Chains A and B, each alone.
Chain A
Amino acid sequence: MGGGGGGGAEGGDQALVAQTLAGDRAAFGTLIERYAGQARRVARAVLGDPDDADDAAQDGFLSALVKLGQYDGRRPFGPWLMRIVANAATDRRRRRNVRRAEPLDTALVGGGPRPDAMAVRSELNGRLRAALAELPERRRKAVVLFDVEGYSHAEIAGILGIPEGTVRSEVFHARRRLRTLLADFKEPMR
């Protein structure tokens, strides 16, 4: 499965990892640029707040650098990194010990006016983030890794440390919940 996840850049990733281990600072920078987007999205799926998410993604990258010697080069780099980033996000959330769903705009809750396409898009994004925040953390990670980042069920199972069947179940339930929550938003758009 391609996406931002497993495929595509693996050959390049292995070379960049080797160069990083050999002390090439720029190679590590390239790895960060390559995976920054998905690391930040996965972290945001866990934490909600974009600044917290960036801090967690940063923690994840630095932690990955420290652990880089433990990385098995025969395996894809993306899932290995995403596991570290997802754990960093979970750790940060636990440390703060307060789970604050991103506050919903009152206009979103009340179904306020939608003056233009930009506002509609913004409203949809807010509604989706709110819907995600209502899901259990593992379910959130699973659906984002599968539908957004394009990782396979097996890869997500490795990232989350759960059986593949549980990943399928989490993705299924997350999708059902998200679709239900979004249904009332989509209908007036048609």
Chain B
Amino acid sequence: MNESPSFDHRPDPELGAALRAALEPRDDSAAFAARVMAQYDAALERSSVAMFDVLASWFRPGMVAAAAALVLGFLFGRTVLGNRAESIDAALAPLEGPGLAALVTAQDPPDPSVVFTSLVEPQ
């Protein structure tokens, strides 16, 4: 091997060959590649199974929550909105009056007090 004390910018072929032989894997690269690909396939399978499990675990609580929301929405609609008028005119009725007219016909941006008044003033 090169015994020169100064730094050599080129690889030392003798040392390199000796180190290569010392570090050489025991079997061929094709067998190693096959093992890595098997791990890759197994990881893919695990991830897809895990994803299915996660989705399955979400399914039941999700269905329960959706059913509960449906029932609550139905009850809310019946109790809260049941006594109100159902037409759009009736729904907008609280907004009608001078406040609404001013809001619709004004050239300039509405005065917040007008908007606010139109909402809170009793008809």
Contact = CB atoms under 8 A, between A and B. Distances in A.
B43 to A, nearest CB: 7
B21 A125 contact: yes
Interface of B is mostly: helix
B48 to A, nearest CB: 15
Interface in A80-139: 121, 124-126, 128-129, 132
B22 A132 contact: yes
Interface centre among B1, B3, B19, B40 (most CB of A within 10 A): B19
Interface residues of B, number: 28
B43 A124 contact: no
B23 A36 contact: no
Interface stretch (B28-36, B79-87, B94-102): B28-36
Contact of A41 (B3, B25, B33): B25
Nearest to B24: A41
B23 A147 contact: no
A8 interface: no
Nearest to B3: A179
A3 interface: yes
Contacts of B16: 147-148, 150
Contacts of B11: 1, 3, 146-147, 150
Contacts, number: 100
A146 B19 CA distance: 11
Interface residues of A, number: 44
A175 B30 CA distance: 32
A37 B29 contact: yes
Can you list the 4 inter-chain pairs with the closest CB atoms, starting with the nearest?
A36-B29, A147-B16, A128-B22, A125-B22
Given A54-B25, A62-B40, A132-B19, 16 more contacts: A33-B30, A33-B33, A36-B32, A40-B23, A44-B25, A50-B26, A58-B35, A65-B40, A128-B18, A129-B22, A132-B23, A147-B11, A147-B15, A147-B16, A148-B20, A171-B7
Interface of B: 1, 3, 5, 7, 9, 11-12, 15-16, 18-26, 29-30, 32-33, 35-37, 39-40, 43
